[in-house]
Amino acid sequence: MTNSNSIIEGGYLRDILAQPEALRDTLAALAGSAALERTAERFESGGFERIVLTGMGGSYWALHPLHLDLLRQGRAALLIETSELIHCLPSLLDSGTLVIAASQSGRSAEILRMMEVKPPDCCMLAVTNTPDSPLALQADAVVATRAGAEFTVSCKTYVTALMALKWLADLLAGRRLRQSRDELAQAAPAVEGYLGSWRDHVRSAASELTGVRRLFFLGRGSSLAAAGTGGLITKESAHFHAEGMSAAAFRHGPLEMIDAALYALVFAGDPATAPLNRRLAQEIIRAGGHAAVTGEDAEPGVFRLPKVHPSVRPIVEILPVQMMTVALGALAGREAGRFERATKVTADE
């Protein structure tokens, strides 16, 4: 078990603790533009045959709630990693497609290649933290986040991208943007309140994870954003193998891996499927593994999420995962989030 003195406080942790400020700055900067209005008008009039959502890493997973929202509206929306899009499906980039590209840097190798492949008449809407990036400068319209500089692992840029994409979903759907802002205004104080006890949360997470060798993040619906990002950033920040997947997919193979060294964090998520997710956690425990459910109704502590509007839930769902990554770093005696091989901007596709 770790204690507060064994936590190496580096740039990644500072970025985690700066998330409330980044969310406030992003919300304050969200505003319409003539280019966005033109894109929204064409969208509402059925001027696009399809919508392609694309990104890599955390940016890809952040697009998941928007993807579900568009599908519920009856829109022909596809969620595709940018690498797959440019190498396997470049024919989708035509005049009938609206591309919504999320990239915190706006200059990763895949994004740069997509802009070379994309024909000029393919409309592209960018969501980025870098307004002077090649992506932002070449896009037809831009929604900029205000996360500020980030040390390594995506945390500020991830939660602010979720905020910007929720606002964009409401804009495209013609919803009341004042209501959208009221919902999003819950995010910063909720995150701030949770992080006020970050040391206790890290200690609690370390106690849960002592002796664990296999880690899974499991969810359904919009919670897949946190599950997928959780698997990614745990490997990246703590050098610890973890997988994020749907709770249902866990039953199709990984269920056989349950033993005393396996831990699953299950996202309660939407009330409609929360009973299924809780039941899975109970089954993992009965089979000899370890599991916890994170949600608003969890026991007070690291896995209790702040109560927010359902549309804002994806933002706060990543918080327990972040605490777990810091805990895993402390357990291993290393600084969570310090890169040894990777770089902040991926330069090779």
CA distance 324 to 230: 9
Same domain, 142 and 198: no
Residue 340: pLDDT band by 50, 70, 90 thresholds? confident
Q: Encode pLDDT of 48-92 as tens digits.
A: 999 999 999 999 999 999 999 999 999 999 999 999 999 999 999
Same domain, 203 and 83: no
The answer to whether residue 258 is domain-embedded is: yes
The answer to whether residue 3 is domain-embedded is: no
Residue pair 246/228 in contact by the 8 Å Cβ criterion: no
Q: Encode pLDDT of 253-284 as tens digits.
A: 999 999 999 999 999 999 999 999 999 999 99
What six digits make up the tokens of 171?
């804009």
Q: What percent of the chain has pLDDT over 90?
A: 95
| Predicted local confidence at residue 6, as pLDDT | 87
Same domain, 172 and 239: no
Residue 72 CB contacts under 8 Å (≥ 6 apart), including other chains: none
Residue 52's domain comprises 31-185
| Domain end residue (candidates: 185, 219, 251) | 185
Least confident of 16-20, 31-35, 205-209, 273-277: 31-35
Same domain, 298 and 152: no
Same domain, 163 and 202: no
Q: Encode pLDDT of 136-164 as tens digits.
A: 999 999 999 999 999 999 999 999 999 99
| Domain end residue (candidates: 185, 215, 246) | 185
Same domain, 35 and 181: yes
- Give pTM, 2 decimals: 0.96
Same domain, 174 and 215: no
Angle at 206 between CA 209 and CA 225, to 5 degrees: 70
Domain of 160: which CATH number?
3.40.50.10490
Full DSSP string of 76-108: -EEEEEHHHHHHH-GGG-STTEEEEEEESSS--
Same domain, 60 and 140: yes
Same domain, 170 and 216: no
Q: Which DSSP state fits 299?
A: P
| Predicted local confidence at residue 291, as pLDDT | 98
Same domain, 241 and 114: no
Q: Residue 54 is inside which H or E element, if any?
A: strand 50-55
Domain count, the chain: 2
Residue 347: pLDDT band by 50, 70, 90 thresholds? low
